Amino acid sequence: METATIRNTINEFYGILPHLFKMPLKKFWLDYDNEADVLYITYQKPQQATDSEMLENGVLVRYRGEEVVGMTILDASKRN
């Protein structure tokens, strides 16, 4: 049985699909820490980053050598 909450969640997810298809890599994992309001995007497991760079927009990009292996988005719920 479908509830209004499930329908709303599905409709919101449909809104992000075009953005997901534009991601540089097609396989990734998302983890959200509600307490810290941080979204973790991982492109490889294990990530094993060797370096990172904080961008001006509050996104931490994680590298292994020259390859991007993940990103951390601070204050994720406040972004549009």
**Model confidence pLDDT, tens digit, residues 3-18:** 888 888 888 888 888 8
| Strand extents, DSSP E, the chain | 29-33, 38-42, 51-54, 59-64, 67-74
Distance CA 12, CA 54 (A): 29
Domain ranges of the chain: 25-78
* pLDDT band for position 26 (cuts 50, 70, 90): confident
Check: pTM over 0.85? Answer yes or no: no
